[in-house]
Amino acid sequence: MKISQYRNLIIDMDGVLWRGNSALPGLKDFVTTIRNTKCRMVLATNNSSSTVDQYINKLKRMGVNVSPEEILTSAQATGTYLQKIAKKGSRVFVIGGDGITNAIIDHEFVITEDDPEYVVIGIDKKITWEKLNTAVMNIRAGAKFIGTNPDSTYPTENGIGVGNGAILAAIEVATGVSPLVIGKPETPIYEQALERLGSNSSDTLMIGDRLDTDILGAQRADIHTLLVLTGVTTLELLETSVIQPDLVLTGLPDIISGLLAD
């Protein structure tokens, strides 16, 4: 498998481009190489906490310029999916940051704590008992339970921290209801990424750091996969996992070499 054969790239961000607020080695050269080789890319993240503009600004601070069309968050994917199944103006209770809150509003739904038709959960770094309890009460009353993403952990500069999957698990235990997940490893976010790229699964490569979301989800969507070892997955985890990528590299500099190879 040659990286250079793919003209369309779906690229995770946390653990691939950066850890927390620190760019990973080779980030600027990586994006420059993508531009120079005329590849198309969508930066597809399961992290629903930030808005597209916030991600654009974060990348700009790291010396990289991207367009809004090149960023797809699980928050956006959730809003788009909800728009397909729910009526305009439907009532939604939201746990999460600016990313998911803005996405729900942008897709013309009403955010409320009282009698919602849907409960949407994204990563919330200010999670409280009151928020969890409101979600549980509403789901028990019949609201449909939707999760932006199932990542149980989250890579930071200081190590691996708590992810949205832990919040979903707490609510699932308290309600007995499993969430409908929109982000990786489920297919809706991949379908939306392929639509943005104007590509199909056969000419697209997924680059990610998590076996259970990035790699598994791409495989479910029949997309070839490249795992980088700069995020959650270690060689030890890889060796014992039933989920195996098509290619494994240590980081962005190796991917740059692959993109430039004949």
**Which residues are known to be catalytic?**
12, 14
Distance CA 154, CA 142 (A): 30
At 1, list the tokens. Answer: 């498998």
Are 261 and 34 within 8 A, CB to CB?
no
b/e burial code for range 200-222 (CB count within 10 A of at least 16 → b): eeeebbbbbbbbbbbbbbbbebe
136 three-class SS: helix
Question: Count of alpha carbons within 13 Å of 34, Cβ hemisphere only?
Answer: 22
Q: Is 88 exposed, middle or buried (0-12, 13-18, 19+ CB in 10 A)?
A: exposed
Give every CB contact of residue 18 below 8 A, 6+ residues apart in sequence.
24, 27, 58, 62
236 three-class SS: helix
